[in-house]
Amino acid sequence: MCGRFTLTETIQKLQMAFEFEYSGGEIVPRYNIAPSQNILTVIGNGEQRIGKQMKWGLVPFWAKDEKIGFKMINARAEGIDSKTSFKTPFKRKRCLILADGFYEWRKTEEGKQPYRFIMKDEEPFALAGVWDTWNKGENPLMSCTIITTDPNEVTEEVHDRMPVILKKSDFEDWLNPNFNDTDYLKSLLVPYPAEKMDKYPVSSKVNSPKNERAELISPLNSL
């Protein structure tokens, strides 16, 4: 699964890297993003890319209660086109979830040790997601989930799943709501090339979502 991630880049750099328009308010560095919080996503309307703040934890349009989102932070790639909660968004409501690192935990004799996973070039990247709008509350709620897949050689030492990281060349098809080749879209939901990624242990302070400081992303042996 993917239960925490980071996004510390400026909105200007993100807009240049992912080519989207944004008018959703201030973006501040985030060092410990947790489920149920608002996160920065990018969606497409067939003509342009638009940055949107969405709640992390998918609330399907048909849900009776938005609390269902707490159970919908991840969607397995294997069932994305068949599970009731995800198959409709997968057809037309796909998004990029922007990040520059994510956390996973490895079980040890001393307890769970958190690791941060990044690109070797330390550039931001896009996680594959699907989104939906829930209209049964006081205001419309846009929410999303992160799609996960099998681990690559970098992540498998820590966890048996990893978030799907999309290649830049796949953004256009993924974001196009009019592109519905299910088999092709599912073919994108594979482990990211391990040779482009790196990992390092970090402080257990990241275990609590209440902690949100730059020191959380420092390598453990440098603290």
Predicted local distance difference test score (pLDDT) of residue 26: 85
Residue 69: exposure state from Cβ atoms within 10 A (0-12, 13-18, ≥19):
buried
Predicted confidence at residue 222, as pLDDT, reads: 61
Q: Which CATH number fits domain 4-206: 3.40.50.360, 3.40.50.720, 1.20.950.20, 3.90.1680.10?
A: 3.90.1680.10
Task: Give the pTM.
Answer: 0.96
User: In the prediction, which pLDDT does 223 show?
Assistant: 52
pLDDT at 110: 83
In whole angstroms, what is the distance from residue 176 CA to residue 36 CA? 26
User: 178 — phi, psi (to 5°)?
Assistant: -95, 0
Q: What is the DSSP string of 122-160?
A: ---EEEEEEEEEE-SSSS-EEEEEEEEE---TTTTTT-S
Catalytic residue among 2, 9, 95, 144: 2
The reply to whether 95 belongs to the active site is no
Burial of 40 (0-12, 13-18, 19+ CB in 10 A): buried
- Known catalytic residue at 2: yes
Rounded to whole angstroms, the Cα distance separating 207 from 15 reads 30
**pLDDT for position 146:** 98
Single out the catalytic residue among 9, 66, 78, 104: 104
**Which pLDDT score, from 0 to 100, does residue 106 have?**
94
**What's the pLDDT score for residue 221?**
80
| Burial per residue of 4-21, b for 16 or more beta-carbon CB atoms within 10 angstroms, e otherwise | bbbbebebeebbeebebe
For residue 123 the two structure tokens come to 């550039």
Q: Which residue ranges of the chain lie beneath pLDDT 50?
A: none
